[in-house]
Structure 1
Amino acid sequence: MAEEAVIDYSLNNPDTLTKYKTAAQISQKVLEAVAKLCTEGANIVEICEKGDKLLEAEVAKVYKGKKISKGSGHPVTVSPSSYITPYTPLKTDAEEAKTVLKKNEVVKIQLGAQIDGFCSIVCDSIVVGAGDKVSGREADLILATYYTNELLLRLMLPPGLVVTGTEEEKKKAAAQKPYSQAKITQLLEKVVKSYDCNIVESTTCWLFERNDIEGKKKIILAPGEGVKGEGLAEVGEAWGVETGVSLGTGKVKTLSNRPTLHRRTNTTYGLKRPSSRALLSEIVKKFATFPFSLRQLEDERAAKVGVVECVRGNVLRQYEVVGDKDNEPVGRLFTTVAITKNGMTRLAQPPTLDVSKYETDKKITDEEILKILEQPLGKASASKNKNKKKKKKAAKKAEEEEDDDEEESSDEE
């Protein structure tokens, strides 16, 4: 009997990166559509439901006929101003189901698609009902979150990866020590302080693996008491990079809202209730090991009952609803990235911020920070260089032909 070939699911396999990118394109497309739904007075439950349907429809268009898992990697969540964690209320919780968006509140939209267990999650922060210009503390928060995210991505890059120059310069850069987690937090704090903000306590970036968005390594920013990160980003890895910034102290508190976001664990436990077993069966079939909302299940009321034993038996992990301790607005961004020998590729990312839209008298003045922010995340690809050369050759050829034509016309005269 022939042995089954072992499939390489790392980034060394081009197919892996393709699946991440396909999932990312879907995530970004749905994010853009959901952001348009986030208007003053819009109902959060309805936005989430529409977003989930769109995500499902977009996923259905790819890898048709292939025997691979695909679907939601993270439900559509819309978190109000002071909420930190992804928020996804239920229709059957009457009070929360009425929650609508208010003008000028900073809302966090998060979602993700997965293809064959490779998940691309994205989160963006928007100001509801903002016109052409945003000013005041909302502008400070959005800019602080944006620049903190840009800096964090660069601090996560392995040393020397995108350095150009002589071999000696490259070796010198590669020999430098990577930024420690403590140093990363220290530098990020310089950015947020420039805008009179703070990093949200214990904001966590995770190593992404196949069927797992919380891998063996994690980077924790502004860690709380007794909390510690493990490891740093390396070539060949995919990461979920999160940035959380608060207009308050950055301290957090658990809110009284029902936890509605869950994820299956690797724990096996003999569930006694038929409702719990039925629920777990549906979860395994629809979501595998990725986060889901109870509202995405067939019977929301039955799910609320069945989930109790699943959480108690540690078969499901429930995500508590966490908010800013001072009830201050919070900004969050989430980017899924791949780190290769050519640098960092942003797979699923929030739209590039038009910083000219945000008016503030605050700015980053620290020279070290400004220098790091100028650094590229990746090397210019060979194909781009080839295209440039082709364009130059084509332009040169066109010029020569033009000169020849001119000479011929002058001869005729």
Structure 2
Amino acid sequence: MAEEPKEIDYTLNNPDTLTKYKTAAQISEKVLAAVSELCVPGAKIASICEQGDKLIEEEVGKVYRGKKIQKGFAHPTTVSPSSFVTPYTPLTSDEAEANVEIQDGEPIKIQLGAQIDGFGSIVCDTVVARPKENAGDEITGREADLILATYYANEVLLRLMVPPGLLASGSDEEKAKAAAAKPPTQSQITSLLEKITKTYGCTLVESTTSWLFERYEIEGKKKIVLAPGEGAKGDGVPEVGEVWGVEMGVSLGSGKVKTMSQRATLHRRTTQTYGLKRPTSRKILSEVQKKFNTFPFSLRQLEDERDAKSGVVECVRGNVFRQYEVVGDKDNSPVARLWTTIALTKNGITKIGAPPALDLDKVKSDKKIEDEEIIKILERPLARNTGNKKNKKKKTAAKKADKADEE
């Protein structure tokens, strides 16, 4: 009798899983850096998004060649102007939106991601748009307040996601006491982060949500919702062995949000089945299944943008696609966002894919965090120092991917 094929372990217990996450992250971070350089005053957002997607496709094509695994986008390239909260990716066939240009000095949110074998790594960074010759200038004033509030709130959120006692040091009694502590509730997390944003005269963006990641799933069974709006509620706490997409959103205004007038172009296939009647609807569903599986996609990534605009209507109505509305700050105030993909291991948090480290010497504010509780949290390590052998960071993932290519 033939042996039954072994069931593949897709958890972090399988080293290949983390390797695939990290390989996807390397691509995401590389493209994020390239797209950041394109975000200069006068550049057209639609064109930047197209260039970003082309780069993701090129980089994904270089890894796991000849392997029968799906790879591609975990999130299309999106470039959101100053007051936009959600990812924005305009269509070239919508003339007015295709001509939207980046303005000098506005905070631009860039979000994108790659996936290998269903393991997606999404990253988002906020850059202040400047001419290339001024790229290295200091950020000051209210823009600096916004960037620092977002940075420190994100750093505290990550530390609050580490399970209690995991990184505790001291005597056995002290470790046991730390491990017995309850993880902070989501309302406690919001309260702590609000201390930071208030220090800088900013506000958390309503219903900023971090999600548990799984294979082919970026909105898992658990979520952390900061400053929840009406009807929004978080559920569950992070645990060792999990991968999360961690979002931080901060506004210079009230943090309340509104639906914008721009067309919703970002969608995601659900697992819902529905008898689509229109040929264009069936056509784009088939294309999405092949290209994107259940990861988010932009209508501009489909073969025929005009067919996509008409066919998507029935797909959304039948709940075959989930539509992401374009949401912005209610007061049209500037907004900053960050997105980090992390793994929770027995040694703490590993940033799988993250925005580049902020150069704090170039961001100058007259405000400063003085709250002792917040300072103590910021002093906590994200992970245990496991020595040089395990700290080769992302080089290991690259080597494993290259080895897979050779095989």
TM-score bracket relative to the smaller structure? over 0.9
How far has the Cα of 1:131 moved from its partner? Answer: 4.3
In terms of mean alpha carbon deviation, does 225-234 or 242-251 score higher? 225-234
2:363 is equivalent to residue 358 of structure 1? yes
Q: CA deviation at 1:113?
A: 0.2
Task: Give the letter for the 1:84 counterpart.
Answer: V
Matching residue of 2:404: none
* CA 346–194 in structure 1, closer or farther in 2 if over 3 Å, else same: same
Aligned equivalent of 1:333: 338
Structure with higher Rg: it is 1
CA distance in 1 between counterparts of 2:371 and 2:265 reads 42
Deviation at 1:297, TM superposition (A): 0.6
In 2, Cα distance between the equivalents of 1:59 and 1:161? 35
SS in 1 for 2:294: coil
SS of structure 1 residue aligned to 2:369: coil
> How many residue pairs were aligned?
387
Q: Return the offset for 1:226.
A: 2.0
CA distance in 2 between counterparts of 1:5 and 1:181 reads 39
**What SS does structure 2 have at the residue aligned with 1:242?**
strand
Who is 1:32 aligned against?
A: 33
SS of 1:30's partner is helix
Residue pairs, 1:13-412, within 5 angstroms = 13-129=14-130, 131-384=136-389
Offset at 1:172? 1.5
3-state SS in 2 of match to 1:298: coil
TM-score by length of 2: 0.94
Q: After the TM superposition, which segments of 4 or more aligned residues of structure 1 sit over 3 Å from their partners?
A: 382-387
| Structure 2 CA distance for aligned equivalents of residues 163 and 353 of structure 1 | 27
Segments of 5+ residues of structure 2 without an aligned counterpart are 393-407
Please say which of residues 49-58 and 171-180 is displaced more in the overlay: 171-180
Secondary structure (helix, strand or coil) at the match of 1:112 reads strand
Please report how far the alpha carbon of residue 225 of structure 1 lies from its aligned counterpart in structure 2 after TM superposition: 1.7
User: Structure 1 residue 152: deviation in Å?
Assistant: 0.3
What residue is the counterpart of 2:403 in the other structure? none
Give the residue type in structure 1 aligned to 2:340: T
Cα 1:35–1:280 change in 2 (3 A) is same
Measure, in 2, the Cα distance between the counterparts of 1:46 and 1:342: 42
Distance 1:350 1:385, change over 3 A: closer
> For residues 194 and 65 of structure 1, do their structure 2 counterparts lie closer, same or farther at Cα, with a shift above 3 Å needed?
same
CA distance in 1, matches of 2:249, 2:390: 37
CA pair 171-303 structure 1, distance change in 2 beyond 3 A: same
User: Residues of 2 paired with 1:14 and 1:235: CA distance?
Assistant: 15
SS of residue matched to 1:122: strand
Using the size of structure 1 for normalisation, the TM-score is 0.92
Task: Give the aligned residue type for 2:211.
Answer: W
* DSSP 3-state at the match of 2:90: coil
How far did 1:17 drift?
0.5
Secondary structure (helix, strand or coil) at the match of 2:258 reads strand
Distance 1:285 1:270 in 2: 18
| 1:280 match: secondary structure | helix
The 2-side partners of 1:386 and 1:155 are apart by 23
Q: In the aligned structure 2, how far is the partner of 1:18 from the partner of 1:254?
A: 38
- Letter matched to residue 287 of structure 2: E
Distance of 2:54 and 2:174 partners within structure 1: 51
CA distance in 2, matches of 1:61, 1:216: 33
Aligned partners of 1:383 and 1:360: how far apart in 2? Answer: 36
Answer with 373-382 or 87-96: which moved more. Answer: 373-382
Q: Which runs of 5+ in 1 are unaligned?
A: 388-413
